[in-house]
Amino acid sequence: MRNLPRLATALTLMAASLASSALFADEPRYNQIALRAEVNQEVAHDLMHVTLYTESQSADPAKLAAEITTTLNKTLEQARKVAGIAVKLGSRNSYPVYDDKGQKISAWRERAEVRLESADFARLSGLTGELLQSMKMAGMDFSIASATRKSHEDAMLKDAIDAFKARAQLATQALGGTGYKLVNLNINSGGFQSPVPMRAYAAKAMERMDAAPTPQIEAGTSQVTVSADGVIEVQMP
C-alpha cells in the first residue's frame, strides 16, 4: 500500500510527459516554403524504330493464315541477317468481312506486324527499303535510349540541386530570414519526348520505288528534365 503514492506520482509524470510530447508534435511549424527548381536539356534521339506490316484477305481463313505466316517468316529471316538490328513480332489479328447486308461472312482479313529497332539509322533505313518490297510501313519514329537518358539525368542532377539551393536562398532573403533548414527534398526525372514520325510522302515514295532507297533521316531531339522539389523552413531573426 505504501507504494501507491509513488505509483500515482509516476503515472502523473508519465501522463504529463505524453501530453507535452503530443503538444510538441502538433505544434505548427512556421515559415515553411515549398519550392521547385528544374533543369532541361535537349538530347538527340539515338534509337530508330520501324514498324512494318503485311495485310491480306481471303475467303479461306487457313489459306490466309498460311500466306501471312509465310510473308512474316521471310521478313524475319531477312531482317535477322543484318547485324545491329533488334527484330520482334508485333501485333497479329484477323477479323471477318461481311457481305453487303452485314449478315454473312464473305471473307477474312488478317494483319501482322514486324518491329525493328536500331541505333544505326543508315543500316535500318537500308533494310527498311528492302523489306518494303514485300511489306508495308505502319510507322517510323525515334527515341532516346534508356542508357543515354540515364547518363544525361545523372549529369543534370547536381545542376538541379544547385538550382534549388539558389531558389531557397532567394526565398530566404525575400522573407528577411537569416538562413534556412531543408525539411525535405525530392529529385525527379522525366521530360517530354515527342514522337518524330517519318513524313508520309517519304513513306509512300519508299513503297513505290522498285529499288531499295535509303531515306534521309531527321531523328530530332527530346527534352530531358530533372527537377528538385522540396520544403525549406526559413529561420527568422
Is position 167 within any domain?
Answer: yes
Together in a domain, 150 and 237: yes
- Cβ contact 131:54 at 8 Å: no
What is the distance between the alpha carbons of residues 157 and 198, in angstroms, rounded to a whole number? 33
Together in a domain, 85 and 165: no
What is the distance between the alpha carbons of residues 54 and 76, in angstroms, rounded to a whole number? 12
What is the distance between the alpha carbons of residues 66 and 80, in angstroms, rounded to a whole number? 21
What is the distance between the alpha carbons of residues 203 and 101, in angstroms, rounded to a whole number? 36
Together in a domain, 121 and 163: no
Where is mean pLDDT largest: 24-28, 134-138, 188-192? 134-138
* Higher per-residue pLDDT: 81 or 13: 81
Q: What is the pLDDT of residue 19?
A: 46
Express each pLDDT in 144-165 by its tens digit.
999 999 999 999 999 999 999 9
Report residue 201 as a C-alpha cell.
Answer: 510522302
Residues of the chain with pLDDT > 70, as a percent, come to: 76
Q: What is the pLDDT of residue 101?
A: 81
Is position 231 within any domain?
Answer: yes
Element (H, E) at 21: helix 3-26
Q: What is the CATH number of the domain that holds 117?
A: 3.30.70.360
DSSP-assigned letter for residue 81: T
CA dihedral 10, 15, 21, 24 (to 10 degrees): -130
How many structural domains comprise the chain?
Answer: 2
Together in a domain, 91 and 125: yes
Is position 217 within any domain?
Answer: no
Burial of 27 (0-12, 13-18, 19+ CB in 10 A): exposed
* Higher per-residue pLDDT: 72 or 26: 72
Task: Let me know the angle formed at the C-alpha of 57 by 56 and 61, rounded to the nearest 5 degrees.
Answer: 110
Together in a domain, 73 and 86: yes
What is the distance between the alpha carbons of residues 237 and 234, in angstroms, rounded to a whole number? 10
In this predicted structure, the answer to whether residue 225 has a pLDDT above a threshold of 90 is yes
**Alpha-carbon 108 to chain mean position:** 36
What is the distance between the alpha carbons of residues 235 and 34, in angstroms, rounded to a whole number? 15
Q: What is the pLDDT of residue 172?
A: 95
Q: What is the pLDDT of residue 219?
A: 80
Together in a domain, 134 and 190: no
What is the distance between the alpha carbons of residues 152 and 70, in angstroms, rounded to a whole number? 43
pTM: 0.71
Express each pLDDT in 16-31 by its tens digit.
444 444 444 555 556 8
Report residue 28 as a C-alpha cell.
Answer: 505548427
Is position 233 within any domain?
Answer: yes
In this predicted structure, the answer to whether residue 216 has a pLDDT above a threshold of 90 is no
Residue-number span of the structural domain to which 118 is assigned: 47-143
Q: What is the pLDDT of residue 14?
A: 45
In this predicted structure, the answer to whether residue 111 has a pLDDT above a threshold of 80 is yes
Together in a domain, 84 and 136: yes
Is position 134 within any domain?
Answer: yes
Q: Largest Cα–Cα distance of the chain, in whole Å?
A: 108
